[in-house]
Amino acid sequence: MRGQDSSRRLRRPEWQVLAAGLIVFLSTAALGQVMQQGVPQLQGPTPSMETGAAKPLPKWIIDDKRKMRAYPDQPPIIPHSIEGYELSVNANRCLSCHKREFTQDSGAPMISVTHYMTRDGQMLADVSPRRYFCTACHVPQADTQPLVPSEFKDMSELGFRPAGSE
């Protein structure tokens, strides 16, 4: 019978492990409480829950004129409205005008040849799947003031001329 009773009780090493685990848990929880109070907020004061009037939506620039880029390698902006355009796995309305074979009739600029390349530089017959969703890079332009002033100058503004123009 004594052998059966000893199996119900915790032995001294097991008891020590359990006590150490409990101490670690409690100290971690206490440390978490202290650290949470000591870390500054990154966003400033918490905004109030009041609701106010929404700012009016900006008007889209739809003049179909190409705009200068704001920084090197910026994807061109979309100079027309894309409201109602379907852009899904099954359909891409952008390609109905900008795809190679349709630019002659539509007058739209052809998408870059880089959109027909794989990551390894292999040319494809159709638009690369990684370049299929146009609005991942290209966006319509709203008539708003810039948040940060841009001091970007194109190479032509700096006095450089294209090779062979001398």
Q: What is the pLDDT of residues 140-166, one digit of tens each?
A: 888 888 888 878 777 777 776 666 666
- Does one domain contain both 10 and 72? no
**How many independent structural domains does the chain possess?**
2
Which letter, b or e, does each residue of 134-166 get, where b requires 16 or more Cβ atoms within 10 Å of its Cβ?
beeebeeeeeeeeeeeeeeeeeeeeeeeeeeee
- Does one domain contain both 86 and 143? yes
State which amino acid sits at residue 4: Q
Residue 32 covered by a domain: yes
In this predicted structure, the answer to whether residue 3 has a pLDDT above a threshold of 60 is no
Q: What's the pLDDT at 23?
A: 92
Please report the sign of the dihedral spanned by the C-alpha atoms of residue 132, residue 136, residue 138, residue 140: positive
Geometric angle at alpha carbon 89, from 96 and 103, rounded to 5°: 15
Residue 45 covered by a domain: no
In this predicted structure, the answer to whether residue 122 has a pLDDT above a threshold of 90 is yes
Q: What's the pLDDT at 54?
A: 86
- Does one domain contain both 22 and 95? no
- Does one domain contain both 31 and 106? no
- Does one domain contain both 156 and 93? yes
Domain extent at residue 12: 2-36
Geometric angle at alpha carbon 83, from 82 and 89, rounded to 5°: 75
Per-residue pLDDT of 72-90, as tens digits, reads 788 988 888 888 888 888 8
What tokens appear for 145 in the block? 């003031």
In this predicted structure, the answer to whether residue 36 has a pLDDT above a threshold of 80 is no
Residue 106 covered by a domain: yes
- 10-30 average pLDDT score: 84
- 41-63 average pLDDT score: 78
What percent of the chain stands above pLDDT 90?
Answer: 16
Residue 43 covered by a domain: no
d(CA 43, CA 47): 9
State which amino acid sits at residue 18: L
d(CA 92, CA 99): 10
- Does one domain contain both 74 and 122? yes
